Amino acid sequence: LEPFDIWYADFKPKAGVSEDELDRITQARYPTAAAFQHDVPKILRKLGFSPDKADWLAARIVVDASRGAGHAMGAVRREDKAHLRTRVSAGGMKYKGYNIALHELGHTVEQTFSLASVDHWFLNGPPNTAFTEALAFTFQARDLEVLGVTADTSDSRRNEALGTLWAAYEIGGVALMDMMVWNWLYAHADASPAQLREAVLAAAREVWNQYFEPVLGSKDCELLAIYSHTVTNPLYLSDYPLGHIIAYQIGARLSAGEFGREFERMATIGAVTPDLWMRTAVGVPISPEALIAGARAALAAAQ
């Protein structure tokens, strides 16, 4: 293993289809952002939403072209629309862009439900960003199924456990670095950009040496410092490992029942406390135990 293996993405089987072939499929299907907009109702039906609900959601989501990887901006007034920004290259949307677009679609669907369908406006949204990310991850995890490349199976669920655990491990390290950097900034409020840079690199090395070097080697590796979110979005990255943990817990419920109906039920619980939200959604509190058990079972099956 090498340091860059923290971004290993092939736990999810691609049914023998190369990424180049996936690029060809998505570029042909989505040559423009408008083509993706047109396909939103069909995507939602494939995910398990009823035709009426898919049309209702699609009418409240606007797809915009983006220079960045992708973004979702929810509405504030119930009469406004959520905006999904997605990157479409000159030759059409590549597979990675499509994968991110599914994530952003999950955001906009959650944003639409949690604004328009909660009892009171002041309860709009989930408890925090970790839940927002968790719900979006459930869309992103089914990208190949929506493309018609592969179907959901017990094998894919096992691989999902490994992939989710690995992703939480990676971004969890970045989240620890994030917290260290902001503790340092509070203690050095007058720091220069150069001093902040050195503090970020030092934090990256410290986290790597403690949690990653025993597995991946390369003492004093600074790879975790690549995330600009650390400075531009203070104390935001810690929502991602929690999001992966929550996504795995709610994923079991979504895969066992009617995805569309269950997703809507969860997205309309509202901005209650995190523990109450989770107990209402799946009957248990937030815990990594389900993910750890799933990963252990996947390893046992592989052996």
| DSSP sequence for 186-212 | HHTTT--HHHHHHHHHHHHHHHIIIII
**What global pTM score does this model have?**
0.83
Least confident of 72-76, 119-123, 184-188, 254-258: 254-258
Q: What is the number of other CB atoms lying within 10 angstroms of the CB of residue 271?
A: 17
Q: Which of 263, 178, 279, 170 is nearest to 216 (CA)?
A: 170
Across 76-103, average pLDDT: 95
Burial of 246 (0-12, 13-18, 19+ CB in 10 A): buried
Give CA angle at 103 (102, 107), nearest 5°.
110
Tokens of 178: 């994030």
Q: Is the per-residue pLDDT at 9 higher than 70?
A: yes
- What whole-number percentage of the chain has pLDDT above 90? 76
Is residue 59 within 8 A of residue 79, CB to CB? The reply is no
Least confident of 86-95, 100-109, 122-131, 147-156: 147-156
Q: What Rg do the C-alpha atoms of the chain give, in angstroms?
A: 20
Beta strands in 74-143 (DSSP E): 82-86
Query: What is the C-alpha to C-alpha distance for residues 54 and 47, in angstroms, rounded to an integer?
Result: 10
Count CA atoms closer than 13 A to 146's CA, side-chain side.
Answer: 28
Owner of token pair 């949307």? 93
Q: Is the per-residue pLDDT at 122 higher than 80?
A: yes
Query: What is the C-alpha to C-alpha distance for residues 225 and 205, in angstroms, rounded to an integer?
Result: 9
Query: What is the C-alpha to C-alpha distance for residues 133 and 129, in angstroms, rounded to an integer?
Result: 6
Query: What is the C-alpha to C-alpha distance for residues 197 and 106, in angstroms, rounded to an integer?
Result: 34
Is residue 184 within 8 A of residue 199, CB to CB? The reply is yes
pLDDT at 152: 52
Residue of 155 and 291 predicted with greater confidence: 291
| Residues 55-89: tens digit of each pLDDT | 999 999 999 998 888 899 999 999 999 999 999 99
- What whole-number percentage of the chain has pLDDT above 70? 96
| Residues 192-234: tens digit of each pLDDT | 999 999 999 999 999 999 999 999 999 999 999 998 777 877 8
Q: Is the per-residue pLDDT at 150 higher than 80?
A: no
What strands lie across the sheet with 61-65, from one edge to the other?
A: 61-65, 82-86, 70-73
Give CA angle at 256 (251, 260), nearest 5°.
75
Q: What is the number of other CB atoms lying within 10 angstroms of the CB of residue 233?
A: 13
Domain positions in the chain = 15-122, 126-303
| Residues 40-49: tens digit of each pLDDT | 999 999 999 9
Q: Is the per-residue pLDDT at 151 higher than 70?
A: no
Query: What is the C-alpha to C-alpha distance for residues 104 and 84, in angstroms, rounded to an integer?
Result: 6
Q: Which residues pair with 72 in a beta bridge?
A: 84
| Residues 245-263: tens digit of each pLDDT | 998 999 888 877 789 999 9
Across 151-161, average pLDDT: 70
Residue 111, SS3 per DSSP: helix
pLDDT at 70: 87
Give me the chain's average pLDDT, please.
Answer: 92
Q: Which of 222, 235, 224 is nearest to 186 (CA)?
A: 235
Least confident of 65-69, 99-103, 165-169, 266-270: 65-69
Query: What is the C-alpha to C-alpha distance for residues 89 and 45, in angstroms, rounded to an integer?
Result: 26
Tokens of 100: 């991110």
